[in-house]
Structure 1
Amino acid sequence: MTRPATSRADDAARPATGRTVLVTGGAGFIGANLADRLAADGHRVVVYDALLRPGVEANLAWLRERHPERVTAVVGDVRDAGRVAECVAGADAVFHLAAQVAVTTSLVSPHEDFAVNLGGTLAVLEALRRRGAPVPLVFASTNKVYGNLPDLALSATNDAYVPVDPDLRRWGIGEQQPLDFHTPYGCSKGGADQYVLDYARSFGIPTAVMRMSCIYGPRQMGTEDQGWVAHFVISALAGRPISIYGDGRQVRDILHVSDAVAAYLAAWERIDSVAGQAFNLGGGPGNAVSLRQLLAYVETLIGRPVDLRFSDWRAGDQRYYVSDTRRAAAALGLPAPTPWQRGVADLAAWLAEAGARPPDAPSVRLMGAAE
């Protein structure tokens, strides 16, 4: 579940480490949670963010309020190579999360998607190469590097797709799965993924790649295009209809953001042994859930049915993706992740407190939360 909040007094009592960490996209959902943890652990954090996504200004204000002495913000675009280089020059480690994050946007604006995701990543890598010092970089990639997995043999139950292969049902999809980029988003993130790994091979920069499945949790204000778990909960709390693209049986392994943050920090801590490697990062088979199953659970939390609308499948959508997390768990020393029911209840409570509910129902009581 979420790490207990620290106060300014707690941070003041915890001595600074002397290390400066750059988090690109640090005002976003995962970035803000990561920056918060880094600052709470005593690091000086530089949040580099263009502040283009709705809601990120609130995340930045939250970080500044919690860590006024340790969080510095630089409002900038990751495509600005000169400004990126200025920030990289003073960093002891870099977490590169800045990205164009929606498949739908990449189909509308492929050039912008390419420039942000691949060009921006290359700007960070080149700045690190020019440093001439082994500064670690941990990169946020995606399971979309594996494409839409059209050859995966699946059977359809009443509410979920299930792999025919028993080993796949038991373990999920591992890093040995061939890369198969689909959609401009898949190409840009996949290309960036490969550049990050190659800069470890070609230039000795200690890099690691996290191929993330669906991350969710507090500070996620999801939309229909990205952040579907939070989007579903927000819509349910507000009594708005929810559009399902496909039949709702598609399955993902969802991972609470506190577990994702722990994995990123572990990769940095163990960068000498994991440099040049990519890891599938998700909730694993124990946290695999279909859209239908998650919505049924949300209904139990809010105590009323949700209004579902169905539309055609979208380009590049995977009917089934579950991470084989054994390699990441072993290499990074990760504990068992938060059970998805508990994590979704945590997210729903945070969203309800944040005001994501109908104005005529100010005291929405969340029921059935898993303990």
Structure 2
Amino acid sequence: MTGAATGGVTLITGGAGFVGSNLADRLLAQGRRVRVLDSLQRPGVEQNLQWLRRTHGDALEVSVADVRDARAVREAVAGATQVYHFAAQVAVTTSLADPREDFEVNAAGTLNVLEAVRASDAPPPLLLTSTNKVYGGLADVPLVLEGQRYLPQDAQWRARGVSEARPLDFHSPYGCSKGTADQYAIDYARSYGLTTLVFRMSCIYGPRQFGTEDQGWVAHFLLRALRGERITLYGDGRQVRDILFVDDLVDAFLLAERNAPRLCGRAFNIGGGPANTISLLDLVDRIEQLHGTRPGLEFDAWRTGDQRYYVSDTGAFEAATGWRPRVDTQAGIERLYGWLAERERGSTPAARRAHTETEPEGADEACKPV
């Protein structure tokens, strides 16, 4: 069923990005062939491809194309024995500024991928990364403020988080476009018999991530501190998220692939879960411990679609596969801080500006506006 078993190629759309490059590295290290389809529109992602090529050589294929190009997508899918669809417009703020482009990339682009898979002689399994934004703002969940965290009043909510039984409630154009992609992927299993799975992801972090205010907030905060720059908190900073280290996410991908025939047509919430939660202010405290000085803070208005509390209930995927996160928040933040610090020491001012002025690499569904 997998590329490893059949000797075929694994396609990763958005594979030059943060999550995509981490997955590609793992697969290539296992001896699998990987094909990356990426538009390379985000400055800096070429560095991820260069890293993969240096490390793995000709086992990596690259198609520089956009998922809105149906012909290019069909050519990329041809011969694939597994498809990971990560390519996306990833920021709520960008979707509000240009909802049409957001829809064309996230919804229509996903339809192109699904149709290419459906047209294949031997349709490969497909895993789509979706987002916790499909559940909306969770405004009906009563919260209390404890210290510098919002927490649910209900003890069961605290213990488990948000499950897949939660009704969908798309907020923002981004939530609508990703929710549309999410539902199309699920329905293509039902309507056409394709092997599709969906991961509704919380905040993902780790090496090869260069975060901005719009996406990838853990890396963004760390980078600001390393550069001696102030951090802007939108809202009051007490928003809580579960964060998942990228190595644990890749583990989940591979387990999903291995179990795809019996899991197809399902969506799973994937994140660090209740054991790996953190608020924005908690992260600032952790940065002070790591960096030796506390970064300067500024506060601004709440952003559209920002949930005061979101924690994934990962119980369904854990029960189905035995997966659990292995990297806790303290160890993961330390590892990312060390990786970013080393990168900052070796980068030029121009390179740092390039990363600051663009969205982070990849189609990962890391945490949205903070």
Structure 2-normalised TM-score?
Answer: 0.91
Unaligned runs of 5+ in 1: 1-14, 361-371
The reply to whether residue 353 of structure 1 matches residue 342 of structure 2 is yes
3-state SS of paired residue (2:25): helix
Unaligned runs of 5+ in 2: 350-370
- Tell me which of 39, 56, 68 is aligned to 1:79: 68
Moved more, 344-353 or 327-336: 327-336
Aligned runs of 1:158-169 on 2, under 5 Å? 158-169=147-158
The reply to whether residue 39 of structure 1 matches residue 45 of structure 2 is no
3-state SS of paired residue (1:68): helix
* d(CA) in 2 for partners of 1:133, 1:58: 33
Q: Could you tell me which amino acid in structure 2 is paired with residue 37 of structure 1?
A: R
Which residue is equivalent to 2:245? 256
* d(CA) in 2 for partners of 1:274, 1:340: 28
Aligned runs of 1:74-223 on 2, under 5 Å? 74-223=63-212
3-state SS of paired residue (1:69): helix
3-state SS of paired residue (2:115): helix
- Tell me which of 307, 311, 316 is aligned to 1:322: 311
Q: Could you tell me which amino acid in structure 2 is paired with residue 186 of structure 1?
A: G
Q: Could you tell me which amino acid in structure 2 is paired with residue 207 of structure 1?
A: T
* d(CA) in 2 for partners of 1:348, 1:37: 21
Aligned runs of 1:273-352 on 2, under 5 Å? 273-352=262-341
Q: How has the CA–CA distance of structure 1 residues 359 and 35 changed in structure 2, closer, same or farther, with 3 Å as cutoff? A: closer
- Tell me which of 34, 45, 56 is aligned to 2:45: 56
* d(CA) in 2 for partners of 1:130, 1:357: 46
Moved more, 89-98 or 49-58: 49-58
Q: Could you tell me which amino acid in structure 1 is paired with residue 40 of structure 2?
A: L
CA-based RMSD: 1.6
Q: How has the CA–CA distance of structure 1 residues 359 and 115 changed in structure 2, closer, same or farther, with 3 Å as cutoff? A: closer
Write the deviation string for residues 230-271 of structure 1: whole angstroms up to 9, x where unpaired: 000000111101000000000000000000111111111110
Contact 1:237 1:356 in 2 (8 A): no
* Larger RCO of the pair (alpha carbons < 8 Å, separation 6+): 2
> Where in structure 1 do 4 or more consecutive aligned residues deviate above 4 Å?
356-360
Q: How many residues align?
A: 346
Contact 2:6 2:81 in 1 (8 A): no
* d(CA) in 2 for partners of 1:229, 1:52: 23
The reply to whether residue 29 of structure 1 matches residue 23 of structure 2 is no
3-state SS of paired residue (1:335): coil
Contact 1:234 1:357 in 2 (8 A): no
Contact 1:146 1:178 in 2 (8 A): yes
Contact 2:259 2:321 in 1 (8 A): yes
Structure 1-normalised TM-score?
Answer: 0.91
* d(CA) in 2 for partners of 1:132, 1:68: 29
